[in-house]
């Protein structure tokens, strides 16, 4: 599944092509994705100008003059900017054509993505309303992590992957950040002190910012707007490296299942 760096890379690639453009038509070829595509989209969006594209967690928000398109890539979704007359492929489910002669095309082979039309404040939308802070914002820090963790018995990896705690820390980046901070992924969230949470918050920011800088991580399905793959997999310290030496030289990386997700860590330097 595309994680926060991949979604942010998509946002940055799409926005220069669509900001200031006016929507001509919306074509929905497959209305049934994870949730039905909002039927109002085809009636209300044409004629409106796209003013900006921003990201909230793993959702993309296309701000129009009188509403927002809220799009989630799901497990294998892709957004591309193509000439509007480009013939659609088998899994090209939604086109938003622009007065520039281009189209925003949503492709989703597994159909776990979603496309909503929101008339009001997008932050009040049910899927966004209870989300935690953005990890690269000033609202996120180790003090907040420490405060939210008190009394929590869940493993710290599950805690930081909970979108009510902080958004966008997916499985790959959780393993990488915990290794960078030297924290064992099974340690109970409520048993970690303030100083270590401050290190963890900084590690989360550093890992995510580094992934964004190189276009995300490509392990299976993710491909960027321009057709390129991300390169952060070349920098991974522990993820998918079971049996290999820890980069700190202290022993082999171990793989365990935590919260039904494959987790990679060094049992020596992560405590």
Q: In the β-sheet with 102-107, what is the strand arrangement from edge to edge?
A: 23-28, 92-98, 102-107, 78-83
Q: Could you tell me the CA-to-CA distances from 168 to 2, 132, 165, 208, 249 in Å, in that order?
A: 10, 9, 10, 9, 29
Determine if residue 146 is labeled as part of a ligand binding site: no
Determine if residue 110 is labeled as part of a ligand binding site: yes
Catalytic residue among 24, 199, 261, 267: 261
Check if 130 is active-site. no
Tokens 């290794």 sit at which residue?
179
Determine if residue 184 is labeled as part of a ligand binding site: no
Closest Cα partner for 102 from 79, 78, 86, 117? 86
Check if 2 is active-site. yes
Catalytic residue among 11, 55, 56, 58: 58
The contacts of residue 64 (CB under 8 Å, 6+ apart) are: 23, 45, 48, 49, 50, 51
Alpha-carbon radius of gyration of the chain: 20
- The pair of structure tokens assigned to 197 is 């949470």
Check if 54 is active-site. no
Closest Cα partner for 114 from 125, 103, 124? 125
Catalytic residue among 3, 6, 8, 176: 3
Check if 199 is active-site. no
The contacts of residue 241 (CB under 8 Å, 6+ apart) are: 253, 264
Catalytic residue among 2, 122, 155, 185: 2
Output the known binding site: 91, 110, 152
Binding residues for DNA: 91, 110, 152
Could you list the active site residues?
2-3, 58, 261
């Amino acid at each position: 599944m595309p994680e926060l760096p991949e979604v942010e890379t998509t946002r940055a690639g799409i926005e220069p092509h669509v900001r200031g453009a006016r929507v001509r038509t919306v074509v929905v070829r497959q209305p049934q994705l994870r949730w039905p595509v909002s039927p109002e989209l085809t009636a209300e969006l044409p004629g409106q100008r796209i003013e900006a594209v921003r990201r909230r967690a793993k959702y993309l928000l296309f701000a129009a003059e009188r509403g927002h398109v809220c799009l989630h890539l799901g497990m294998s979704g892709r957004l591309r900017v193509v000439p509007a007359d480009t013939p659609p492929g088998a899994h090209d489910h939604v086109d938003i054509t622009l007065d520039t002669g281009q189209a925003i095309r949503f492709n989703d082979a597994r159909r776990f993505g979603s496309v909503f039309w929101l008339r009001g404040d997008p932050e009040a939308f049910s899927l966004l309303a209870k989300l935690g802070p953005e990890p690269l914002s000033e609202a996120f820090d180790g003090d907040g992590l420490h405060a939210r963790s008190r009394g929590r018995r869940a493993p710290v990896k599950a805690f930081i992957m909970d979108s009510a705690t902080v958004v966008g820390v997916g499985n790959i980046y959780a393993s990488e950040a915990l290794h960078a901070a030297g924290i064992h992924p099974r340690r109970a969230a409520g048993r970690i002190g303030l100083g270590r949470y401050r290190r963890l918050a900084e590690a989360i920011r550093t890992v995510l910012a580094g992934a964004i800088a190189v276009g995300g991580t490509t392990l299976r399905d993710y491909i960027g707007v321009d057709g390129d793959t991300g390169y952060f997999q070349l920098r991974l310290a522990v993820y998918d490296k079971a049996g290999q030496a820890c980069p700190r030289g202290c022993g082999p990386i171990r793989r365990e299942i935590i919260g039904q997700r494959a987790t990679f860590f060094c049992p020596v330097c992560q405590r």
